[in-house]
Chains A and B, each alone.
Chain A
Amino acid sequence: MDGSVRALVEAIVGMREKEAVELAQALLDAGGNPLELLDACREGVEAVGQRFEKGEYFLPELMLAGEILAQISGMVKARVAAEASAREKRLGRVVIGTVKGDIHDIGKSIVSFLLDANGFEVIDLGVDVLPERFVEAVRQFEPQVVGMSCLLTLAYDPMKETVRVLEDAGLRDRVKVMIGGAATNDQIRVYTGADAWGRDAMEAVSLARAWVGR
């Protein structure tokens, strides 16, 4: 990796938004390889995730990293159309959503972002997702992992119901189910029948990695 690509990674990790975007633009203008640029961004965001895991970075840093990544991806896509994102090899696939009755999306979206940045293909079903939609998505996308998010205590029963509906559909053995959100803990994992729960977004990444053997 040449010096300016390294500088780009460092600018992302150092939360220097303007510098990162300008460096990326300069690299593209100088005929740099757009795919290499995207790899650099991914490396930067992964490092941000690691700092988050260590308790050095928090929401502002995750969100700013997401912003920088989005801006640079936009610039790259304007140059090389779709083939850039299509060629990436992925560690595995995760279907994720906030469960029925709950419309909170910030935690869930951060998990999606970090899973994506860490090499997973993420199918984000959004919020207020009915159990049947989880089932459909598992059939269609054949993920290794299903992630369910909630903020409300009233979402425990919908989580439990979603696990049951996956079982009824004969799909439960094909996926690992993880839950997360401020109102979850191990007791709720047992209650809902999920395989694991995570306290924060990086735990979701660790769980998914372990399940796909990476």
Chain B
Amino acid sequence: MFPESWQKLSAHEKYEERFKAWISPPNVRFANPEVEKSFKQRVQRIKDVVELKKPDRIPVCPNIGFFPAKYAGITAQEAMYDYQKLGAAWKKYHQDFLPDSLASCMLATPGKVFEILDYRLYRWPGRGTPPDTPYQCVEAEYMREDEYDALIRDPSAYWMRVYLPRVFGALEAWGLLPPFTDVVEMPFTGAFMVPIGMPQVQRSFEVLLEAGRAAVEWVQAAGAVDAEIMGTLGVPSVLGGFSKAPFDTLGDTLRGTRGIMLDIYRRPGKLLEALERLVPVMVELGVRTAAMSGNPMVFIPLHKGADGFLSRENFSRFYWPTLKAVLLGLIDEGLVPWVFVEGSYNQRLDFLADRDLPPGRIVWMFDQTDMVRVKEMLGGVACFAGNVPVTMLKAGTPEEVRRYVRDLIEKVAQDGGFILATGGVVDDAEPESFRAMIEAGKEYGVYR
């Protein structure tokens, strides 16, 4: 897909190549030339706002969770298990509201795969949460406080032999596996293979194969739905790849909130070392997943760095440097980090305006941050998106929503570089209020 001389291209050339691939997706069959035109137009709008220009109109890209299920009258459980119902619900959402970005039905995730693996990091509908409630993370110390050295020495081996056996009940036996780096010479290799012959390890691989088959069944079904929506409505996905801030990877996935917050005081040196170690791992994750999807936008949800979580001092020491390194690593590969700034960042906006980050290469999507301040700090530096409150979409009136959108656009969007989005992830909303947001965005968002 990319030229052979890829490694020799500059970051800017890579960026242009990636957008070329995105605007003409090989895996989408467009229903007619008009749909294809509107797809390209929507991608071009995103490119324009990323580059801090004024497009023809502001892109309207709500951040969607399980709202399409709720709207279509199916449960979250049905969305996670019944791909027919999933597809019908997500198509209905796009047809009825016609946003400028795809709400990928893959975000509903495949319940069957997790069930086969006995996934313990999450509870999901039918497995610990009610049928109409989305999946939720179960906070715990999946990495113990004395395991920093093992993680730092070899993150892959740590994940495979320690972390996975804890979060997947079906892979408990992987604690018996040797690291793959044992395979150095022939005499070592026989010994390496022996644990793989043990009955419990054999069983774990059989289960893994089954989970893999279930995942392929899901990706084919859900991928076809996404492709059909793109091909019939001309709505591109704005989530190409994904990655995380190293502090969140360590805090959400491994140590848990309590664990990582205490580590700041109890073992700051090890914590910093581990965060550094995860930078290339998180860059590689973003680069690879974006390449797989043929879409340069890399979704990064921020969690534990928000106002109220850490002091400025701790944010600047533990959270920001490695997040910045990941952003730079992705930008250097021609990618565009699409950073979902959850909670509020009123006390952190000066960090986001960091001069080391090249202008016009990031989208910051805000939740509860003051958008006027955002415009002051990031205007002309980076594209920003936001922030229609999900509370208003649920408990407000359509008229209130229209007013909010109009005011927001008037106050912060006049110079371009802006995407209209919801503040939080929409799981539940009043359809008429949601519609009011989309329509107001399209109406007031036209640049003349």
Contacts and interface: CB of A to CB of B under 8 A. Distances in A.
Interface in B109-125: 123
Contacts of B396: 187
Interface in B383-427: 389-392, 394-396, 424-427
Query: Which of A154, A188, A190 is packed against the most chain B CB atoms within 10 Å?
Result: A154
Given A15-B265, A60-B264, A63-B261, A105 B139 contact: yes
A57 interface: yes
Interface string A161-205: 000000000000000000000111101101100000000100000
B131 to A, nearest CB: 10
Interface stretch (A26-34, A85-93, A95-103): A95-103
B395 A152 contact: no
Query: Which of A106, A190, A200 is packed against the most chain B CB atoms within 10 Å?
Result: A106
Contacts of B284: none
A82 interface: no
Interface stretch (B152-160, B181-189, B232-240, B307-315): B307-315
Contacts, number: 92
Given A15-B265, A187-B391, A103 B311 contact: no
A209 interface: no
Contacts of B266: 17
Interface band, chain B: 35 or more
Contacts of B262: 60, 63-64, 67
A157 B395 contact: no
Interface residues of A, number: 33
Nearest to B256: A106
A187 B264 CA distance: 36
A191 B139 contact: no
A85 B27 CA distance: 67
A163 to B, nearest CB: 14
A17 B136 contact: no
B309 A102 contact: no
Given A64-B262, A152-B136, A190-B395, A56 B427 contact: no
B68 to A, nearest CB: 14
Interface in B237-261: 257-258, 261
Contact of B391 (A56, A101, A103, A185): A185
Interface in B44-68: 66
A128 B308 contact: no
Contact of B426 (A59, A67, A104, A153): A153
B126 interface: no
B387 to A, nearest CB: 13
A183 B134 CA distance: 15
A185 B391 CA distance: 8
Contact of A128 (B129, B261, B265, B426): B129
B128 A103 contact: yes
A103 B123 contact: yes
A101 B217 CA distance: 29
A184 B308 contact: no
Interface of B: 66, 123, 128-130, 132-134, 136, 138-139, 257-258, 261-262, 264-266, 308-311, 314, 342-343, 389-392, 394-396, 424-429
Interface of A: 15, 17, 56-61, 63-64, 67, 100-106, 128, 152-154, 156-157, 182-185, 187-188, 190-191, 200
6 contacts: A58-B311, A59-B257, A153-B425, A154-B428, A156-B428, A185-B389
In the A-B complex, list the 3 residue pairs whose CB atoms are closest, starting with the nearest.
Answer: A191-B395, A101-B133, A60-B261
Given A60-B314, A101-B132, 15 more contacts: A58-B311, A58-B314, A59-B308, A60-B311, A61-B311, A63-B258, A101-B133, A105-B139, A152-B133, A152-B427, A153-B426, A156-B428, A187-B396, A188-B391, A191-B394
